[in-house]
Structure 1
Amino acid sequence: MVSRRDIATAIGAAAVGIAAAGIVSPAAAQAPAAGGETAFERIRRTKKLRIGAVAGAAPYYNKDISSGQWGGFYIDLSKALAEELEVELEILETTWGNSVLDLQANKIDIFFGLNPTPKRALVIDFSVPVFNNAFTMITKKGLGKKTWDDFNNPALKITVDAGSSQDQVATRLCSKAQISRFKSVDDAAAAIMTGRADAQCIVMMLSLTMLKKNPALGELVVPTPVFATTSNAGFRREADQTWPKYVNTWLEFNRGLGLIRSVIIKNMESVGITEADMPAGVQL
């Protein structure tokens, strides 16, 4: 039987293994920017807020091919943050995998949409959660599995995108299953489409979007008990915590005003997802 302690262990165990292997060396703070300027000081001086964005990642981020214009709820949220700071928004195209490196290299000031995994927490800092993102399974039709224990079956083939939070969760909770790791979410989904796998472990926001675009992909299952990760902003690690503290205050304030929920719902609707599509008992 899967417990909530299991999910904590699934995420926490990664930190122990990484530290023991010496893969990443945790540092109190990365090298200061030129002139010792902090992120917050640079933003205020240049009047520019630099963010990273991932093309083709709706409803998080989306870049119009013809116009080059960016959209998505993290773009809308970043625009609101820049407006509050009275600065210009600059967008650097990146990837999920490179976003942490871009933060460390001081190419961007913030990146929205990161799961706070232990491996990432060794090298960057995180904001408070922006929203909750439940772990789901996209299964081939008629599979009939409903619980994590059901999926923890040697006869089942489960796909994940390698190194992701869903990889860690599936590895821990479905250790008896045959787990195949792919470079991207799309590659993992293709294995379902071609009959090479039974299910894909993926966070809810992405599973809803994928199934809306391609209903033939399979069926959405929220395995019980329901477990969720959070979607947060990442920051370059600095001794001075003014910038993360400011963003945290801004996020909490605007959560109370309903801004965060409204931009999420608006951009979900832009890809055809309504609140009615949300699985029962699952909250943002």
Structure 2
Amino acid sequence: MKRREFTRLLAAGTVAAAVGTSMTRPLFAASSLERIKASGTLRIGGVADGAPYYQKSLTDGSWRGFYIDICQKLADDLGVKLSILETTWGNSVLDLQADKIDVFFGLNPTPERKKVIDFSGPVFKNAFTMIVRKGVGGTAWDDFNKPDMRIAVDAGSSHDAAISRHAPLAEVARLKTASDATAALQSRRADAQCLVMVLALSLRAKNPSIGELVMPTPADFTTSNAGFRREEDQSWREYADQWITGQRESGFVKEAIIRNMGLVGVKESDFPPGFDI
């Protein structure tokens, strides 16, 4: 989408806000699209330990990751600066609702999340997997749905929701971050950790001895989407959704993912056969 389309949508959003009545008024005084244009800044959330989605340098505080690259291009196409707020997967929805950020890339549109925020269409495809401590075994979700199975997840994430669906009988440790869940697995306080495919491949490339990567059957495919604060004026979500579709179709999204996966030691050939990003 061109910047003139951004300007057209901004004008439409301004008119929509102006004609709002006391019965139907925006949830915030100005729409996100108006705020982005007026401030010259696109505010996103980033997860410090979320490589290859997001990664914050411990030495200089700089960010990298495929969602950083994607969001930087979005900001460039809008003609604004990019501002990154450090958050977690679990807190990102709260940050959207509190108007701390304009968009968060990397959310699965679960039914609970759909009740409180809006979503774009898919940015890319993913699947839920398990990193399983050696000797534990398991190939199907039923193998993990047992009272003596200890599973670690990051609280409030799509991993948490997946385990709640597939392994309600398991003993689940809901920890603050995915790194905390990995630490539980490494210290043998957990038998397995639930992660989406992209994160699991990255973790295994970084630490091959962490455990085996299993995509339990039946496969639970998912998508990674962008989340938006719920507003009556939908011009910002509509603009971003069209922009995402264009970047998927052009191949930019896949190129950004493969390039950043390579930075953490994962090749395109490491994805399971038939798995299409």
TM-score, normalisation: structure 2 = 0.84
Q: Which moved more, 1:136-145 or 1:70-79?
A: 136-145
Q: Secondary structure at the match of 1:276?
A: helix
* 1:30 CA displacement: 6.5
Does the alignment pair 1:115 with 2:115? no
Equivalent positions of 1:160-239 (< 5 A) are 160-239=153-232
- Conserved 8 A contact 2:53-2:66: yes
Q: Which residue of 2 aligns with 1:153?
A: 146
Amino acid at match of 1:101: L
Alpha-carbon deviations, 1:133-156, whole Å to 9, x = none? 211011111333211222233443
Q: Which residue of 1 aligns with 2:275?
A: 282
Instruction: Determine the C-alpha separation between the residues in 2 that align with 1:188 and 1:230.
Output: 22
Distance 1:88 1:121, change over 3 A: same
Instruction: Determine the C-alpha separation between the residues in 2 that align with 1:71 and 1:266.
Output: 11
Q: Which residue of 1 aligns with 2:60?
A: 67
Q: Which runs of 5+ in 1 are unaligned?
A: 1-27
- Conserved 8 A contact 2:49-2:179: no
Q: Which moved more, 1:86-95 or 1:223-232?
A: 86-95
- Conserved 8 A contact 2:27-2:232: no
Distance 1:233 1:67, change over 3 A: same
Instruction: Determine the C-alpha separation between the residues in 1 that align with 2:178 and 2:26.
Output: 31
* 1:48 CA displacement: 1.9
Q: Which residue of 1 aligns with 2:128?
A: 135
* 1:180 CA displacement: 3.0
Does the alignment pair 1:57 with 2:45? no
- Conserved 8 A contact 2:132-2:214: yes
- Taking only aligned residues, the RMSD between alpha carbons, in angstroms, comes to 2.0
* 1:235 CA displacement: 1.0
Q: Secondary structure at the match of 1:97?
A: coil
Instruction: Determine the C-alpha separation between the residues in 1 that align with 2:38 and 2:236.
Output: 14
* 1:29 CA displacement: 8.1
Instruction: Determine the C-alpha separation between the residues in 2 that align with 1:200 and 1:30.
Output: 41
Does the alignment pair 1:32 with 2:25? no
Instruction: Determine the C-alpha separation between the residues in 2 that align with 1:30 and 1:215.
Output: 50
Equivalent positions of 1:11-26 (< 5 A) are none
- Conserved 8 A contact 2:89-2:156: no
Alpha-carbon deviations, 1:19-46, whole Å to 9, x = none? xxxxxxxxx986323xxx2111222233
Distance 1:225 1:281, change over 3 A: farther
- Conserved 8 A contact 1:222-1:279: no
Q: Which runs of 5+ in 2 are unaligned?
A: 1-23
Q: Which residue of 2 aligns with 1:14?
A: none
* 1:257 CA displacement: 0.5
Of 219, 241, 250 in structure 2, the residue corresponding to residue 248 of structure 1 is 241
Amino acid at match of 1:64: S
Aligned length: 254
Distance 1:283 1:32, change over 3 A: same
Instruction: Determine the C-alpha separation between the residues in 1 that align with 2:274 and 2:25.
Output: 40
Instruction: Determine the C-alpha separation between the residues in 1 that align with 2:25 and 2:216.
Output: 39
Alpha-carbon deviations, 1:71-125, whole Å to 9, x = none? 1111100111111112222222223233222222222211111122222222211
- Conserved 8 A contact 1:29-1:237: no
Distance 1:29 1:173, change over 3 A: farther
Does the alignment pair 1:269 with 2:265? no
